[in-house]
Amino acid sequence: CPITGLEVALTDLQSSWNNVRHHTEEISSNRLLVRRGQAFNITLYFRNRAFQPGLDNIIFVTETGPLPDLPKGTRAVFSLAGHRGPSPWIASLQTIGASSLEVSLCAPPVAAVGRYLLKVHIRSLQGPVTAYQLGEFILLFNPWCPEDAVYLESEPQRQEYVMNDYGFIYQGNKNWIRPCPWNYGQFEENIIDICLELLDKSLNFQIDPATDCALRGSPVYISRVVCAMINSNDDSGVLNGNWGENYSDGTNPAEWMGSVAILKQWHATGCQPVRYGQCWVFAAVTCTVMRCLGIPTRVITNFNSGHDTDGNLIIDEYYDNTGRILENKKKDSVWNFHVWNECWMARNDLPPGFGGWQVLDATPQETSNGLYCCGPASVRAIKEGEVDLNYDTAFAFSMVNADCMAWLVFGGKEQKLHQDTNTVGNFISTKSIQSDERDDITENYKYEEGSLQERQVFLKALQKLKAGRFPGSLRAESQPRSVPLSDSPRSLATPSLQPSDVVQVSLKFQLLDSPNMGQDIRFVLLALNMSPQLKDLRVNLSAQSLLHDGSPLLPFWQDTAFITLSPEEAKTYPCKITYSQYSQYLSTDKLIRISALGEEKNSPEKILVNKIITLAYPSIVINVLGAAIVNQPLSIQVVFSNPLSEQVEDCVLTVEGSGLFRRQQRVLIGVLKPHHRASLTLETIPFKSGQRQIQANLRSNKFKDIKGYRNVYINFGL
């Protein structure tokens, strides 16, 4: 009897089995999600007979994007024959059944990531070709594959930087670093679809979808697209930035504690930017998207982060004679802390040795090639001062290396107070691998402060900056001011004398107890005479609130101290700022800067000292009641209190946690009396096993971000 054509009745994409092997089972078990450079198996079931090698010719076709194209690599055609065809995609025979065929397919480790269509063409002998659509799959980057540009050798690092769906973002100030818990939730329902939608909303895709999809195999390209799409400055990006004090038409950035709510809101509103974000929110959402796509990513905090807008590596700060900082005319500033990402990838576009961790900063500060996007900049290039390497390495270098120049402004004149070479770029921090500790990674970014190597790198970077304005560097239009030689940043000789060395008096602030919100702030000014002469000092003291980006608000406390010091004598001057004095002047950042400007009777030199205080809240306490088992009811007790000695209203408690809650839980609490402590119990049914985290936030009309977290291990059950 004549051979009939082979007919496909059914396809099993083996999603559950493949996804476990491709580390995507957390995303889904009923849709196929695979990683490039790694084989996955599918089974074809035939309606009429068994597959016969030599008789039946099976050709697979994969397509991605709206305009699949063979030369561009967004369409592939490859056969089940034993020999390698021209396509880098591979199909190989696994097992032949009575009416089925199991095949192993493998995408090349450079394939574009995204949503793919899988088709098959079958030809039996000389008969007609029949074509079938077998289904869809999503292809992701593969940090487990040595040939992939994002390959990361260490399994604990892969678990932390790709698979972990919670973490900590470090905030506060360099003297008081505190972890803020965050729910990345990169494997939650629909997040992968929202990440792919984000790529399709980018300007690159809108202008030229065919080329954009073809470039999606490059982690360097993807990271630039994601970075530009997280802020809404050029496109319908995810977040609107707001560094003011009015968030009434959106959410205060300090209230967020996870990326899932933000990404889902962006998607649900037809890609309207979500209000509002600041640096840690931009970085956290970037981390979620990058981990979801398979690029190892971590969140980095830089304390005292430089924002040098004119590319001369000097940040100027201006003070008046009461010691208060003035609104900067040039917009240079030192941010109390700034948060960005590092993504792990090879950099074949750079000289050898600059792969590995790359800085990616989605906070809209400066444009890069016309878009608000910063990076990827090689961390190694930053450390070595190679500021001309792509992308935006000069800007990243200045965030951790700029010098600070303080100026006194009076009577229309400016007097140089001092230059500080080690203010900027301190305690660069990230969460440790598989632990809740903080890792200090400052040495990845710079040689030891004051070392010869550090000065040489600084001068090398400055020379390169002056030599040429390269593309993707700082704003090309603002030329660096010419700096007279005597004031040139950091010659290799000894550092310039500070005013305190000239006057031979040292001033320093010291807190007497940890500053808690709702309580008085008690501190002393320590004055030490280092000379053999008597010193008569007049010291102007002031306190003002700061916004997170370093912008000052008006002073709300001032004092003048007259201190007489015998030779080599030390004295303390006690100070107190009461809660009623500071309460209505605080921004959500809870930052107070205290300053002292001291002058000696017979000397023109002035000494400036300041200290930044972050006011702390008591944490929310979360207790897990009983054993945590998948698909079994679990009770969670949340204990919170009003830290203030006044009544607060409009209290809302928000609780979330990937794998524990399918959506954010919001409880309206209403009024909390002064110092009142309350607790409530929430019921949930955990749906994922393993190490998880619960995050909670309490907001009211007087405070926005009392936080708490609890790690919980969820057992698999029977």
Binding-site members for Ca(2+) are 401, 403, 449, 454
Tokens of 446: 């710079």
Residues forming a β-bridge with 185: none
Return the number of other C-beta atoms located less than 10 Å from residue 423's C-beta: 17
Supply the angle between the helices 191-200 and 219-230 in degrees, to the nearest 10. Answer: 90
What CA–CA distances, in Å, run from 215 to 133, 209, 211, 219, 618? 25, 10, 6, 9, 48
Return the number of other C-beta atoms located less than 10 Å from residue 306's C-beta: 26
Alpha carbon distance 106, 92 (integer Å) = 9
Of 297, 13, 12, residue with least CA distance to 169: 297
- In this structure, are residues 33 and 138 in contact, taking their beta carbons and an 8 Å threshold? yes
Alpha carbon distance 588, 614 (integer Å) = 11
- In this structure, are residues 301 and 289 in contact, taking their beta carbons and an 8 Å threshold? no
The single-letter code of the amino acid at 483 is: V
Supply the angle between the helices 393-401 and 452-467 in degrees, to the nearest 10. Answer: 140
Catalytic residue among 106, 180, 271, 279: 279
- In this structure, are residues 270 and 330 in contact, taking their beta carbons and an 8 Å threshold? no
Catalytic residue among 22, 338, 418, 548: 338
- In this structure, are residues 652 and 672 in contact, taking their beta carbons and an 8 Å threshold? no
Please, is 270 exposed, middle or buried when counting C-beta atoms within 10 Å of its C-beta (0-12, 13-18, 19+)? exposed
What CA–CA distances, in Å, run from 21 to 18, 136, 190? 5, 18, 21
- In this structure, are residues 474 and 462 in contact, taking their beta carbons and an 8 Å threshold? no
Q: H/E element holding 87?
A: none
| 573 preceded by a cis bond (ω within 30 of 0) | no
- In this structure, are residues 14 and 25 in contact, taking their beta carbons and an 8 Å threshold? no
What CA–CA distances, in Å, run from 500 to 76, 92, 598? 70, 76, 10
The CA-based angle 188-193-196, given to 5 degrees, is 125
| Residue 271 known to be catalytic | no
Q: Which residues lie below 8 Å from residue 246, measured CB to CB, with a gap of 6+? A: none
| 391 preceded by a cis bond (ω within 30 of 0) | yes
Tokens of 292: 């979801």
Return the number of other C-beta atoms located less than 10 Å from residue 123's C-beta: 16
| Residue 279 known to be catalytic | yes
Q: What φ, ψ does residue 425 adopt, rounded to 5°? A: 85, 70
With left for phi above 0 and alpha for psi between -120 and 50, is residue 527 left, alpha or beta?
beta
Please, is 460 exposed, middle or buried when counting C-beta atoms within 10 Å of its C-beta (0-12, 13-18, 19+)? middle
Q: What's the maximum distance between 2 C-alpha atoms anywhere in the chain?
A: 118
3-state class percentages of the chain: helix first, strand second, coil last, to nearest 5: 20, 40, 40
Q: Residue written as tokens 């799409």? A: 229
| Residue 361 known to be catalytic | yes
- In this structure, are residues 521 and 586 in contact, taking their beta carbons and an 8 Å threshold? no
Alpha carbon distance 630, 688 (integer Å) = 6
Alpha carbon distance 13, 17 (integer Å) = 9
Q: Residue written as tokens 């038409």? A: 249
What CA–CA distances, in Å, run from 80 to 10, 33, 72? 18, 22, 22
Binding site per annotation, positions:
401, 403, 449, 454
| 351 preceded by a cis bond (ω within 30 of 0) | no
Active site residues: 279, 338, 361
